[in-house]
Amino acid sequence: MKSLSHLALLLVSLLFVSCVNKQGGACAYQAFNELIEITALQQNSVETTGSIIENFDRRDFDTTPAIGERYRVQGKQLIRGSCTPITDLQLTKMQ
C-alpha cells in the first residue's frame, strides 16, 4: 500500500512538472499582404514570385490561373507557437 501511494505521488509530481514547463504557449499571427505573379503551372500546384508563399495548390484559386497573371495574397502567418502556419488565405486576381 505504501509503494502505491509513492507511485501516485510520483505521477502527480511528474504531471505537475510537465505542465509547469510547458513550451509553446498561445500562437501568434502577423497579417501579410503581397502581390505575386504566376511563374509556372504544375499538375496540382502553382509556382509564384511570392516571398511568403511560393507554391500554391491549384484549389487555392477560384479558376485556373495562367502564367503571368498577378494576384494579391492576403492572410495571417504564424510567428509564435505551433499552430497552422498560414490562415485566412485570400487570393484576388489583379486586373
Instruction: State pLDDT tens for residues 24-63.
Output: 569 999 999 999 999 999 999 999 999 999 999 999 999 9
CA distance 68 to 49: 10
- Mean pLDDT computed over every residue of the chain: 84
The pTM of the full predicted model, rounded to 2 decimals, is 0.70
Backbone angles phi, psi at 7, to 5 degrees: -65, -45
* Confidence at residue 18, expressed as pLDDT on a 0 to 100 scale: 44
What per-residue confidence (pLDDT) applies to 15? 46
* H helix runs in 1-95, sequence order: 2-20
For residue 75, the cross-strand partners are 32
Query: In this structure, what DSSP letter does residue 59 have?
Result: G
Neighbours of 36 (CB within 10 A): 23
